């Protein structure tokens, strides 16, 4: 599965590592719901670290689109909220 970290790169993450990533994703949602800046920042850093660690960089000539997108490194809760507000 291809995961993009905004402002960074795309990583090919093995299916076996997806549950751990999804768990962090759920924690991210939880932190956003609670408006917990510190928990959000910590979870986002963990998530980015995990994607970098388990995934392999996708070559530039591989143009497959990604299935999951991770916010920019050090993005704030407010920033992500406003990005998601762009949904229609």
For position 74 contacting other proteins by CB under 8 A, the verdict is: yes
Write out the H or E segment, with its range, that includes residue 49: helix 37-54
For position 63 contacting other proteins by CB under 8 A, the verdict is: yes
Which of 30, 14, 21 has the alpha carbon at shortest distance from 70?
A: 21
Nearer to other proteins, 16 or 84 (CB): 84
Binding to other proteins in span 11-50, by CB under 8 A: 21-22, 25-26, 28-29, 32
Strands 68-70 and 2-5: parallel
Contacts of 86 (CB under 8 A, 6+ apart): none
The footprint of other proteins (CB under 8 A) covers 3-4, 6-9, 21-22, 25-26, 28-29, 32, 59-75, 79-80, 83-84, 86-88
């Amino acid at each position: 599965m291809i995961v993009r970290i905004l402002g960074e790169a795309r990583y090919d993450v093995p299916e076996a590592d997806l549950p751990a990533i999804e768990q962090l994703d759920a924690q991210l949602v939880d932190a956003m719901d609670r408006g917990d800046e510190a928990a959000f920042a910590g979870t986002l850093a963990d998530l980015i670290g995990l994607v970098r660690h388990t995934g392999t960089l996708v070559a530039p000539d591989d143009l497959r689109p990604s299935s999951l997108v991770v916010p920019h490194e050090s993005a704030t809760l407010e920033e992500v909220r406003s990005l998601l507000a762009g949904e229609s």
